[in-house]
Amino acid sequence: MLLRNRDFWSGLVFLLFGVVLIVFLIPSGIVEPKRIKFAVLSPSYYPRIIAIAMSLIGLAICIGSLKGKDDDFVTSSIDLYAMGKVVTVFIVLFATAYALPHAGFVLASAVALVVLMALAGERNPFIVVGVSIILPIVLYLFFTKLASVPIPGGILDPILQRI
């Protein structure tokens, strides 16, 4: 029975959220300049790509779930450990969003990446530290230097301006 297929409903939620992003949230929430030389520099370009990808993934999950049988449905109890991880991820994301204007993109993202990678089970310190430091700096430099998009530097702004 389709009503009991969790994969179908999960895919449908992804599909609908992607469509809502494309049709309503992105056009109403992102201010577009009148003339943009390259579409890639448009503020809505990357959010739109993510929303389209989310919609396509949701559609693929829905279609894939239709091939399964009803007896594939498994009832299970709530895993409190997994639920705690989900809550922790949301807390980290909200804390990062709050810290961005004060600490800056590089510092807030580096701390968030360390916590999220540890939560995901990554234990190699070279990977954790390397990704947490290199990725935010590369993204910061790409958007500020190449794309001319202002990114909050926060307390590291004097150092980042010299790069």
Interval 20-31: pLDDT, tens: 999 998 888 887
pLDDT at residue 71 above 60? no
- pLDDT, mean of residues 84-90: 92
CA separation (Å) from 42 to 23, 32, 51, 120, 140? 17, 7, 15, 33, 17
What six digits make up the tokens of 91?
Answer: 């807390």
pLDDT at residue 128 above 90? yes
- Please indicate, yes or no, whether the overall pTM of this predicted structure exceeds 0.85: no
Reported as half-sphere exposure (CB side, CA atoms, 13 A), residue 9 has a value of 7
- pLDDT, mean of residues 39-55: 85
Other Cβ atoms closer than 10 A to 46: 10
Name the more confident of 36 and 160: 160
CA separation (Å) from 110 to 29, 37, 105? 27, 32, 8
pLDDT of residue 35: 77
Helical axes 105-120 vs 125-141, angle rounded to 10°: 150
pLDDT at residue 152 above 70? yes
pLDDT of residue 77: 66
What six digits make up the tokens of 80?
Answer: 């409190």
Q: Are 73 and 5 contacting, i.e. CB atoms less than 8 angstroms apart? A: yes
Q: How far apart are CA 130 and CA 126, in angstroms?
A: 6
Q: Are 48 and 24 contacting, i.e. CB atoms less than 8 angstroms apart? A: no
